[in-house]
Amino acid sequence: SIIMGSTSDLPVMEKACKWLEQCEIPFEVNALSAHRTPAAVESFAKEAKDRGIKVIIAGAGMAAALPGVIAASTSLPVIGVPIKGMLDGLDAMSIIQMPPGIPVATVGVNGAQNAAILAAEMMALGDEEIARKVENWKSTLGEKIEKANKELAEIKDYRFKC
């Protein structure tokens, strides 16, 4: 499940959606605020497991309470995505300061795609099909770099000669 504090977070969180779509891993998307809709967030978290959710990706900027509030109300793994806000994302880094007993895995600022990959890796521990999809996707990572390196080597511009 992907949840964000506001639809203004969608430009960041859609990177997780796109990666999961590309890998054909089903997911849901919600916008609920830990501060403006706390009862709805608590219900969401408490009911997620019964709805078949395996991992929750929670994006939050500013005070970034959403991932922690969700983690406090569920035994499912929660991955926090700090979203760059007013203080270049430093305000959202409170996600990394969770108290003992309420863990939230945290990816880098605006790292929604990495959150999706991490969620898939978690689910892959008990799902061979997802494991295969993650392995196939990861096997392509070097291709872009190899292609870029080959193109760089073909540049005849004198500025690149040492």
Over the chain, what is the mean pLDDT? Answer: 91
Contact between 108 and 40 (Cβ < 8 Å): no
pLDDT of residue 70: 97
Distance CA 15, CA 21 (A): 10
- From 12-16, 23-27, 144-148, the region with the lowest mean pLDDT: 144-148
Average pLDDT over residues 67-84: 96
Give 84's pLDDT tier (boundaries 50, 70, 90). confident
Q: What percent of the chain has pLDDT over 70?
A: 92
Local structure of 78: helix, strand or coil: strand
Q: How many alpha carbons fall within 13 Å on the CB side of residue 75?
A: 3
Asked whether residue 162 carries a pLDDT value surpassing 60, the answer given is no
- Cα–Cα–Cα angle for 95, 138, 84, nearest 5°? 25
* pLDDT tens, position by position, 91-143: 777 788 888 999 999 999 999 999 999 999 999 999 999 999 999 999 999 88
Average pLDDT over residues 54-74: 92
- From 19-23, 60-64, 114-118, 135-139, the region with the lowest mean pLDDT: 60-64
Phi and psi torsions of 156, nearest 5°: -100, 5
Give the count of beta carbons closer than 10 Å to the beta carbon of residue 29.
16
Nearest to 48 by CA among 25, 24, 35, 32: 32
Asked whether residue 160 carries a pLDDT value surpassing 90, the answer given is no
Q: Which of 80-84, 143-147, 154-158 has the highest mean pLDDT?
A: 80-84
